Each structure stands twice: as structure tokens, then as C-alpha cells.
Chain A
Amino acid sequence: MNTRSFLVNFGAVLAVGAVSILFAQKLPQTPDGHPDLNGTWDNGSGIDFIKPQHLADGSVCVSGCDAPPVAVQTSASAPRPAAARPPRNFPKYRPEYLAKVAQLEKNQLQADPVLHCRSPGLPRIGPPDKIVQQAKQIVFLYDDVSGDFFRIIPMDGRPHRQDVDPSTLGDSIGHWEGDTLVVEANQFNDESWLTDNGAFHSDQLTVTERLRRVGDILEYEAVATDPKVLTEPWKVTRKAKLTDVDLVEATPCIDKDLNHVIDGTHHDNPR
């Protein structure tokens, strides 16, 4: 290596190192040296397409406006036929359960737990809306249509509890893998769905979530494993953005209108 190439390479190494250090310094950390995930995280709640229009007199158009957002205009002329939908990320079921999924999807107005204000369960509930992070435990808070939910995730290395009843959110324990928070949950009941359209699961479900902060973005991944009914693990990914808009107290969920739905019309309702 001649002097010039050495200097070029050395300079490149310095530059990469400087960028790495700069990036590392930008990522907030807790006193115990882990990424700071504390805060309220906005995942869009499925209403990113809503672009309220505000007028000077206090008027607001929430939806159906004369100049709707582009995303709305693209579908303005006619309902999108089912065949034109993008491939949905749907769990792959064992053949013997396909009929059950189809039946649940057909009857989802009656069968879908979240349409009746029940817990969406994991991983349907999605990434946490707020994280309270301590050294020995992390608390996930959720502001969901079905109500407010929480999960307490021990970080001290203890095993799963054996004295809890199965539930829709299961029993969780967490650990760090580098800068990634890994949460493993088991002890589920079979009362929630993985996603919409009849995606039931069994009580053999386990879920592994990975959360990684990149700047003010929270990258979220959940893998649902249920060998009793699924042919392979099912993965969902989401992103959430740090926000200074905090959660508010619980809003009650009280269904009052399903009895008035006369033709079973529904739409995708994933969390």
C-alpha cells in the first residue's frame, strides 16, 4: 500500500467511524446503557389516510371533502375489486383449518372479537402506543379501539410465570439483543385473532416481538408461531414515530350498531 492509498483508506475509516459515533450519540440511552424506548409512539392507528382540512372559521372536513387527499381520489370512480387488492399478509393455515378460516371470515361481523370490543390480542394489537422503560421491567401501554391494555415485561432474566391463566396478551418476558428489545410471549388463550378476516389461532400460540429504535422511529416486528394451526411462523412489521402527544384516559368501547348492519358488509380491520 502506498502512502496515498493508505491515507485514503485511513480517511475512509475515520469518516465511517465518525458517522458511527455520531449516530450512536444521537440515539438516547437509559442509565443502564440500553436504547431509550421511553415515550409515546404513533403508529398511525390505521388512519394515516385521513387528512383533515381546517378552515379559518373553525370548520373542519374530516372525510368526504371536495378536495380529498390523493389516496382517496385514486379509488374515487369505483370500489376496488377484490382481485385488485395487494396481496395481503395473511397467516398460512394447515389445510384442515382453511374451511374454519373461511367460515369465520364470512361471519366476521358476529365472530370477530374486536368488532365486539374484545381484546385484539397479540400480535393484532400492534406496537405499543407508549413504553415505560425501567431497568428491571418495561411496560407497554396500548390505546386501542377496544379499550386500553397494558403488558408488564420483566427484564431481569426470570422465566415465564406458571401461575397465570392463559390470556389474549399472554405472559411476556424480555431481554436485549444488542440494541434490540426482544419480547417473548406465551400462555395465550384462543379468544383473539392474529389479524382480521378469520385469522384465528390456538392456545399453542407463541409470539416473539423485536423492537429497535432508529432515531425517532420505532421499528417493530412480531412473529407468531402456532404449529397446531399454522404451517409456518407468521411475521408482521410496523413502524411508529416518537410523538409528544401523550395518551389520554381510556375511551369506552361499546358496540351499538352491529345489529343494524343488514348485509354483512365489512372491510379489512387489522390492527
Chain B
Amino acid sequence: MSIRFGAALLVAVALAAVGQRALAHHSVAGEFDVRKIVRLNGVVSDVEWANPHIYIHLDVREPNGAATTWRLESVPVAMMRKAGLSKVLLLGNGQTAMVDAYLARDGTPHLGYLVEITYADGHHYQFASDK
């Protein structure tokens, strides 16, 4: 499952190098455009704590006032656990959060890959390269 021009490729290349049991099940770059990062502001309303990928739901208020829920793919459960993170921590006590995400390459609206989430109190979790 690692590099600098995108966490997805980072992940893919490192995995190939170590040749070990992998938890990610496809290259992130195959699904998401690691060169297109969108910034969202909203509230984490749900966390799908599942393999092979965790998803967080981010309720975002669009400029026109409409509410939209983004589904943001993240790392496998084992990786999240290794980082000491949990569903409760990702929910962030309902505080607002700023999220950077890669956009889906197939154009699916409101689907992205979670790069970094920064909560209103300032703490943040990073899962991919934001460069």
C-alpha cells in the first residue's frame, strides 16, 4: 500500500516494495484524482466503520443554502486503529470541520477521498498527501 505526488501512489508503491499483506484493496489513484483537491466545510454526520474502506459522511451547506452530504472514502479499519482513531473521534463531537478531499475521477458528485480533516478546535487528522 506510499511518495509525494499523491498518497494513493505512495500507498501503491510502498506496498509493491514491501510485498506484504495489504489492507487497501485498490490504488486510490484508480478512483480519485490526486491532483484535484476540493475543500469542504461541514459537520461529520456519520462514519461507515467498515472494510475495505471507512467512509465519513460530511454534511455541507452549499453556497445556495442547500444541504449536501458528501461521502468521503478513507483508510481501512486496521490502519485507522493503528493510528489510534475511532468512529467517535472522527465524528468530532459534532463540531464543524474543514475537509480537503480528492475528487472522484468518474465524476460521481459528492464522492471524494479524505485527505485531511481539521476540526473547529484546531486538531486535525491527515490520511493522504495534500501537496
Contact = CB atoms under 8 A, between A and B. Distances in A.
A and B form one complex: yes
Interface of A: 43-50, 52, 54-55, 57-65, 68, 71-72, 74-77, 79-80, 85-86, 88-89, 109, 114-115, 117, 126, 143, 145-147, 196, 251-258, 260-271
Contacts of B17: 71, 74-75, 80, 85-86
Residues of B contacting A: mostly: loop
Contacts of B127: 62-64
Given A64-B126, A266-B26, A257 B31 contact: yes
A268 to B, nearest CB: 5
B51 A252 contact: yes
Contact of A267 (B22, B82, B123): B22
A53 to B, nearest CB: 9
19 contacts: A46-B15, A50-B82, A60-B84, A60-B85, A63-B11, A64-B115, A64-B127, A64-B131, A72-B2, A72-B3, A76-B3, A76-B10, A80-B16, A114-B25, A115-B25, A257-B53, A261-B31, A265-B26, A268-B16
B14 A49 contact: yes
Given A45-B78, A63-B127, A71-B18, A77 B49 contact: no
Contacts of A115: 25-26, 52
Contacts of B12: 79, 265, 267
Contact of B4 (A45, A77, A88, A117): A77
Given A44-B20, A49-B1, A252-B51, 9 more contacts: A46-B21, A59-B123, A62-B79, A65-B126, A76-B4, A145-B25, A257-B26, A260-B111, A269-B25
A49 B83 contact: no
Given A64-B130, A115-B26, A79 B9 contact: yes
B1 to A, nearest CB: 7
Contact of A271 (B21, B122, B126): B21
Interface string B95-124: 000000000111010010001000000111
Contacts of A117: 51-52
A80 B23 CA distance: 20
B2 A253 contact: no
B80 interface: yes
Contact of A145 (B9, B13, B78, B129): B78
B29 interface: yes
Given A109-B26, A115-B26, A63 B51 contact: no
B19 A270 contact: yes
B15 to A, nearest CB: 5
B7 A63 contact: yes
Contacts of A255: 25, 52
Looking at B20, B79, B105, which has the most chain A CB atoms within 10 Å of its CB?
B20
B33 to A, nearest CB: 10
A63 B19 contact: no
Contact of A60 (B4, B125, B128, B129): B125
Given A49-B1, A61-B126, A80 B13 contact: yes
A48 B123 contact: no
B41 interface: no
Nearest to A269: B22
A267 B20 contact: no
Interface in B20-76: 20-27, 29-31, 48-53, 55, 73, 75-76
Contacts of B49: 251
Contacts of A71: 2, 14, 17-18
A57 B124 CA distance: 9
A174 to B, nearest CB: 23
B91 interface: no
A263 B105 CA distance: 10
